[in-house]
Amino acid sequence: MKIAIIKQGGLCAGGIEKYLQQIAVELIKCGNSVDYFFTDEVPYVSSGFQPGTDPGRKIFMERNGVNLFEVKCKSINPLESGGFWNDSNLFELFDQNLYDVVIGGHKGEPCWPFSEIKGPKIIETVHGTDFTSGASTYSDAYVLISEYQRQRWVRAGGDLQRTKIIYPMVKIEKPALVRDRKSWNIPDDKFVFGYHQAARPGLFSSIPLDAYAKIQNNSNFFVLLGGTEEYTEYAKSKGIINFMRIPPASSSESVNSFLSCLDVYAHGRFDGEVCSSAIIEAMAHGLPIITHPSAFNNGHLTQIEDCGFAASSAHDYANLMFHLQNDKNIYKFSSEKTIQKYENFFSFDHCRKSLIDLVYDIASNK
């Protein structure tokens, strides 16, 4: 088959973008041709911006045979109002008559350019929960990435007959050397809490650091891969000494090398998660996971049910940190339950098969 994937900022290292990049690579491995249309960094008309191309992600795509097409675009309308790409040459580069299937990923509302495409089958992957302008209804298939989305999707007008719930397929590239703390400058004699996060505004949560400030001592350490300068400044303001923030890493091998150095995945995010690829990566390492609820999305709480810990406050979070560091039985139980849940629900092979089967089913349904 000939397949097109379209995404603004499509070669950045964000969760949706990496998800679509992996879909492209897996479809090529099945013998298909994939054209990937993307913009570099582009502002939204209202506020904020879509991050641009990450060199490591571009190399990843090129090495795996994905045909890349960079699209010009001056700005993007808010997704809530259709997501139109202003002053764009997309349809000069993209000929819809050439493709069997077109794939895109976004919040889940009617979204340009997919709302304008006629002819090929369209599959949209749905990554949001707040469907302000209603659910998209024109595509041939929709992929929800979490059971958490189902109720809101239906309430917004989503068609369950054309919808499947398939967790994100997250490739786990195991590092050549496990627990290589020296290369990350992480102390080898400490019990290490930490997590990784995209380096973009709006994600900062103070709760993990508020909690760590309550239990910090010479036996432990907190490290963050990625995130923004807010974390560094906040740690200073809280008097946290045993804290380090590392610049973001884009390759799966680097991320998993970092994760192998942690003892506990101490997650936090202001707007919550729908289905966190970062948490899936942590689960693959059997890390006990602590997180907290959000006023926005709480799909991450569903992910860690029966294996991880959700703290209702920084005080509760600190208690969980303390017990995981000091009670080997609790630690072992959580670690075993986490890897078991990963294998049963989130393993790459399981999610890959479900998604590839869907693409072929939709393409063959003339």
Check if the beta carbon of residue 75 is closer than 8 Å to that of residue 41.
no
* The CATH fold of domain 181-346: Rossmann fold (3.40.50)
pLDDT score of 15:
84
Pairing of strands 33-38, 67-70: parallel
**For residue 112, what is the DSSP state?**
T
**Confidence at 200, pLDDT banded by 50, 70, 90:** confident
CATH number, span 2-165: 3.40.50.2000
Q: pTM score, two decimals?
A: 0.86
Query: Could you give the CA distance from residue 362 to residue 58 in angstroms, rounded to a whole number?
Result: 28
Mean pLDDT over 170-177 rounds to 90
Residue 293 has pLDDT above 70, yes or no: yes
Residue 82 has pLDDT above 80, yes or no: yes
Residue 251 has pLDDT above 90, yes or no: no
Domain residue extents for the chain: 2-165, 181-346
Query: Could you give the CA distance from residue 325 to residue 220 in angstroms, rounded to a whole number?
Result: 8
Tens of pLDDT along 12-70?
988 899 999 999 999 999 999 999 999 999 999 988 899 999 999 999 999 999 999 99
pLDDT score of 298:
96
Measured in degrees and rounded to the nearest 5, phi and psi for residue 170 equal -115, 115
Query: What is the end-to-end Cα distance of the chain in Å, rounded?
Result: 14
Mean pLDDT over 81-102 rounds to 97
pLDDT score of 366:
57
**Confidence at 299, pLDDT banded by 50, 70, 90:** very high
Check if the beta carbon of residue 272 is closer than 8 Å to that of residue 298.
yes
Cα distances (angstroms) measured from residue 337 to each of 140, 280, 287: 37, 13, 10
Same fold? 2-165, 181-346 = yes
- At 94, list the tokens: 């993209």
pLDDT score of 331:
98
Mean pLDDT over 262-273 rounds to 97
- At 304, list the tokens: 């860690």
Range from 103-112, 195-204, 239-248, 340-349 carrying the lowest mean pLDDT: 195-204
Residue 198 has pLDDT above 70, yes or no: yes
Percentage of the residues of the chain whose pLDDT score is greater than 70: 100
